[in-house]
Amino acid sequence: MFLVAGAYWVVQRETDLAVLAALLVVIVRYAEPLASFINYTKIIHLVEASLLRIEALLMVPELPQLPEQHPQRYDISFELVDFSYQGSSQPNLIGFNLTIPARSMTALVGPSGGAGKTTVTRLLMRYADPQTGTVKIGGVDIRAIPPETLNSIVSVVFQDVYLFDDTILANIRMARPEASDLEVQQAAKAANCHAFITRFPQGYLTHVGDIGSRLSGGERQRISIARAILKNAPILVLDEPTAALDTESEVAVQAAIDTLIKDKTVIVIAHRLSTVASASNIVVVEDGRLVEQGIHNELIANPGRYSSMWQTQQRVKNWHVARTANQIAHVLSRILYLAGQPLESLVKAQNIITFSCACAGALNLVV
C-alpha cells in the first residue's frame, strides 16, 4: 500500500526516489519490532485481567473456623438455614430445614433457573456460610470441620466437568494423589471409562490437551465419576449428572453412578423425575424454600408441586411415544405399500399401530 502511494507521489513529483527509498528502509527496520510490541500489549492486557481476578480471589475473606471437631457419622442436617449470595437483592434460601440420614439417597427437585437446589449443595461444601442457621454433618457444625477433612468426606459430580491439561491418569488421580496406577485403573473400569481410554494409542498417558474435543460430554462425566469412585468419600453430591447426555452416554453414566452410590449418603439434583423416583426422600425446592418432601408414591398420590411436575413430564413423554408411534406406522405402511398390499389394509394397519402405541404410552408401558 505504502509502495503504491510512494510510486504515485514520485510520479506526481511530490517526493523523489531517494526519499522514498529511505522511508522504505526505515519502515522495514521498524515494522517488525512495532508488530511485536502490538502483540505484547495484547498479552499485557490478558495478564492484567488475570491479575485482577487473582487479586479479587485473594481479597475474599477466609471463612471463620470453630474449634476443631471431626464427624463420626455421615448424616446431614440443614437447620433453619437462611442464605443470600453477596449482592443478592432477595434471600436465596429461606428457613431451609432438611434431615438426610446416613447411607440414604435424597433427591432435590424443583423448577430450573434459580430454585436454590445447587445453593443447598454449595452450603454443604462450605463454599459460603449461611447468614443464619446451621449445616451439620454427623451432628457436627461444618464450621468446626477442618476444610481438608470436609473436602475428603464430600465428593461432587457436576454436569460441567473440568479436565486439567495433563494426562488422563493424572486427571483421575487428582481425587486421591497417593492412589497407585492400578487403583486409578480400577476406578476407571468401575466408571465405564477404561474402554474409551485404552482406545487412544497412549492410553492412560494420553494428554487431555492433545485430544481436546475428542472426549464427549459423557466421557468427561465418566472421568469425573472415576475421580469420585477413587476418592470414595462417604458423602456424594450429584448435580444433574446426566442432564445433557444422549441416551447411549446416559446409560453408561447411569451404570457408573449406580456403582458409585453404594453405601454412601447421596444428594442428587435432577430435573427428570423418573431418574429419582426410587430415592428414599424427594425434596421439592422452590424460590429458596422446601415446599414438599416424601417418597415418590406418596407425593404423586397427593395434589401438590411434585405431582403436577410429574404429570407434566409424563405428558411430554407420552407425546414423544405417540410421535414415535406415528413414525413407525408411517414406515410400516410404506413397506406394505411396496409389498403390493391394498390401500385399505395399509390404512387399517397404520391406525392399529398408532392407536396401540399411543395407548401403551398413555399407560406408561413404553419407556
Stretch that binds ligand ATP, among 55-63, 109-117, 161-169, 212-220 (CB under 6 A): 109-117
Of 119, 171, 206, 265, the one binding ligand ATP by CB under 6 A: 119
CA 34 to chain centroid, in Å, comes to: 44
Give the nearer residue to ligand ATP in terms of CB position, either 120 or 226.
120
Of 114, 146, 147, 209, the one binding ligand ATP by CB under 6 A: 114
Beta carbon of residue 268, minimum distance to Mg ion (angstroms, whole number): 12
Give the nearer residue to ligand ATP in terms of CB position, either 83 or 196.
83
Beta carbon of residue 274, minimum distance to ligand ATP (angstroms, whole number): 17
Residue 297 within binding range of ligand ATP, rule CB under 6 A: no
Of 259, 281, 242, 229, residue with least CA distance to 76: 281
Look at residue 85 and give the partner it binds from ligand ATP, Mg ion, none, a contact being a CB closer than 5 to 8 Å depending on partner kind.
ligand ATP
Q: Got the DSSP string for 209-243?
A: HHHGGGS-HHHHHHHHHHHHHHHT-SEEEEESTTT
Residue 118 within binding range of Mg ion, rule CB under 5 A: yes
Give the nearer residue to ligand ATP in terms of CB position, either 114 or 209.
114
Beta carbon of residue 168, minimum distance to ligand ATP (angstroms, whole number): 28
Sequence-ordered list of residues with C-beta below 8 angstroms from that of 344, at least 6 positions apart, any chain: none
> Beta strand 132-137 with 140-141: parallel, antiparallel or unpaired?
antiparallel
Look at residue 167 and give the partner it binds from Mg ion, ligand ATP, none, a contact being a CB closer than 5 to 8 Å depending on partner kind.
none
Give the nearer residue to ligand ATP in terms of CB position, either 92 or 242.
92
Residue 155 within binding range of Mg ion, rule CB under 5 A: no
Give the nearer residue to ligand ATP in terms of CB position, either 190 or 283.
283
Beta carbon of residue 52, minimum distance to ligand ATP (angstroms, whole number): 18
End-to-end distance of the chain based on CA atoms, in angstroms? 67
Sequence-ordered list of residues with C-beta below 8 angstroms from that of 147, at least 6 positions apart, any chain: 126
| Residue 253 exposure: Cα atoms within 13 Å on the Cβ side | 26
Q: Got the DSSP string for 35-65?
A: HHHHHHHHHHHHHHHHHHHHHHHHHSPPPP-
DSSP label at residue 66: P
Of 100, 115, 135, 267, the one binding ligand ATP by CB under 6 A: 115
Question: What distance in Å separates the CA atoms of residue 119 and residue 126, rounded to the nearest whole number?
Answer: 10
Of 279, 242, 296, 235, residue with least CA distance to 260: 235
Of residues 55-94, those binding ligand ATP (CB under 6 A): 85, 88, 92
H or E element: which one contains 275?
A: none
Which residues of this chain interact with ligand ATP, rule CB under 6 A? 85, 88, 92, 110, 112-119
Which residues of this chain interact with Mg ion, rule CB under 5 A? 118
